[in-house]
Structure 1
Amino acid sequence: MLRSLVFGRTVTRVTITPSVLRPLTTTVPNWSGHNKWSTIKHDKMKNDSAKNKMINKYVNQIMVAIKLKDTRLQTIIDTAMKDNVPKKVIDNAIKKASSAGSTEGTVNIYEGMGPGGVALIVETQTDNKNRTVALVRSHFTKANLNLLSMGSSMHYFNKVGRIVVTYPHPEGSEAIDEDLVLDKIIEVEGVKDFEKIEPPEDEPTTDPEYMILTEPAMTNKVAKELQDSHGFEVTEANISYQPKSEMQVDITQNDDIKNAFNKFIEGLREIDDVTEVYSNETQ
């Protein structure tokens, strides 16, 4: 270390030998706030998804109860309100189910091809067909897609009656033997096919759900017999379009197409008059 006088001030000079030189290191800062927000955002999306699924389940139960003239309708509504399902959602479900057979609204089907060449059937219920077709066509047009003539997509699907049921058991008791449940389903006249619905891995274990297929005209009759004569709880009963297995389209290998498809379907479902969208995408 050397000291010298420069312009009246003492300056200390330090001589550093090469042996003590070390390279500088760069550390990427840990933006803990960003990571925390990402975690919160992810958890919120997960919670919102679970809440929406719960709400949709109650909506289906209310609509099925009205169609089947189920005496448990008020119990279902009370339970939904306790689980914080908005009153407006409940009222809309009641109105929709009650007017499904009236002349105030009509059910219309539109067909098209979505991103990736996936065949689509768009089901709507409306009191203004011109408004509805304009909204649906506009959505296709914005994605550089077109609505197709009737029958263009229909041959990719089978029209069926679709019923989803559970076989509830009292809390604390052992679940009923699955073979017995399946025997009860087989006993019902009009059942064409059925399968157990496997729940997502991240969902808590509940009573198993079973999807049952029948002829469209037999849907309400089969659902009512399952409920009244065999003790099942009917959570869904509707006319559905099931894609034919040999005509399904796999778009999972292309992320761009998959993302475009999901965004397009999400936009369709946001149209108020759209009640359901069916596709022959491989599940």
Structure 2
Amino acid sequence: MDTVTLGEHDAEQRGYWDAKQTDDINLLLGSEDGLYHHHYGIGDYDHAVLDAPAGRREEQIQRELHRMETLETGLVLDALGEVPSTARVMDAGSGRGGTSFVIADKFGCRVDGVNYCAHHVDFTQNLARERGVANRVQFHFTNMMQTPFEDGTFDFIVSNETTMCVDIHKAFAEFSRLLRPGGRYVAVTWSRHDAVHPRSEASREIDEHYLCGMHKRSTYFEALAANGLVPYHVRDHTEEAIPYWELREHSELRTGVEAPFLRGFREQSIDYLVIASERV
């Protein structure tokens, strides 16, 4: 019995990720340091890479993209604040483990990644063993909207660019159940800036590319409030997200989604947010 796929959209998403087992845009960028990210980057890039010799240009672009993706995890770390080594953290939609390992390395805490892509879970479990942290960084084949963990299991939950793949009302209800009172949830996400445009063409193109459903900015706050999660830190990093996409347009690994992201960010119909909340 399939207890991981919760509805038709989940089935589409699982099919999308199950098919991406040899995707260079994710695998090549993490091959040097073992941090494989499934999110994007922030900050400016070193423009000198575009003037590198032809034989080295692509390699330098990819290294710079990876540096910016790793820099992005700093948004999660900063919003979490102090995390005791005794804390337990859940990474909701853990991909190939980049954010989970960064958190574990920074704080020395236990991290549980949850993911409904089986080959990602196999990949990250092997990587945890290779990194010597399998005793405190574990990955679970389960759905973030319906996990097997007991109430109040976690001190912190993070989601790094994954909530556009799920029903956030259901996901936030589950996060509220899993967090102890006073626990914190940090989301990094792109969203539809509905105060500017209810449904821009850029957001439609991104949804079609990833088979996802980008949520309205206002929906995040509605869903948090409905589930006892009170924001204490909200930051808009849209401007900082633009250079990554500008650089990726020059890479051989570009996928075609660069143009709608740039258009959406520049016209402000899409924004890039960090929202941290506390379970009350």
Q: Under TM normalisation by the shorter chain, which class is it?
A: under 0.3
Query: TM-score, normalising length from structure 2?
Result: 0.28
Normalized per residue, the structure richer in strand is: 1
Larger Rg: 1
